[in-house]
Amino acid sequence: MSWKVRSLVALAAVGLLAGAVGFAQSSGEAVYKAKCQSCHGAEGMPNPGIAKAMGVKPASDPSVKSETEAQMIAITTNGKGKMPAYKGKLTDPEIKASVDYFRTLAK
């Protein structure tokens, strides 16, 4: 193979791999993992110590499941209790995407 062909094949492989990795995780999942997971848990089940100290309930808790998407977006935007506000730290689409992802954890 010529140098140009090998370079093009390598470039195409890198592009395909980067595209596959980019689609492996939704933006909501990425935001959740970066900003929410430390308190709310990877699967929506907080660590018992954090749950007690911070008042964090599991995603599957009936009181959490009964909140509307709009209520969860407002809580994430403005904060509630010991949860900080993410207004100005995350964009509105990032907040919505992270809430949508969190709601999928309520099994």
Q: Say how far apart CA 49 and CA 53 lie, in whole Å.
A: 6
Question: What pLDDT is stored for residue 107 in this prediction?
Answer: 76
Per the structure, how many domains does the chain have? 1
Question: What pLDDT is stored for residue 18 in this prediction?
Answer: 47
What's the domain range around 87?
26-104
Question: What pLDDT is stored for residue 21 in this prediction?
Answer: 44
Weakly modelled stretches of the chain, pLDDT under 70: 1-25
Please say whether the beta carbons of 30 and 96 come within 8 A: no
Question: What pLDDT is stored for residue 81 in this prediction?
Answer: 93
Q: Does the residue 39 lie in any domain?
A: yes
Helix, strand, or coil here: 3?
A: helix
The 10s digit of each residue's pLDDT in 21-34 is: 444 468 999 999 99
Cβ-proximal residues to 90 (8 Å cutoff; 6+ apart), any chain: 31, 35, 76, 98
Question: What pLDDT is stored for residue 95 in this prediction?
Answer: 97
What are the respective helix, strand and coil percentages of the chain, to the nearest 5? Answer: 65, 5, 30
CATH number at residue 51: 1.10.760.10
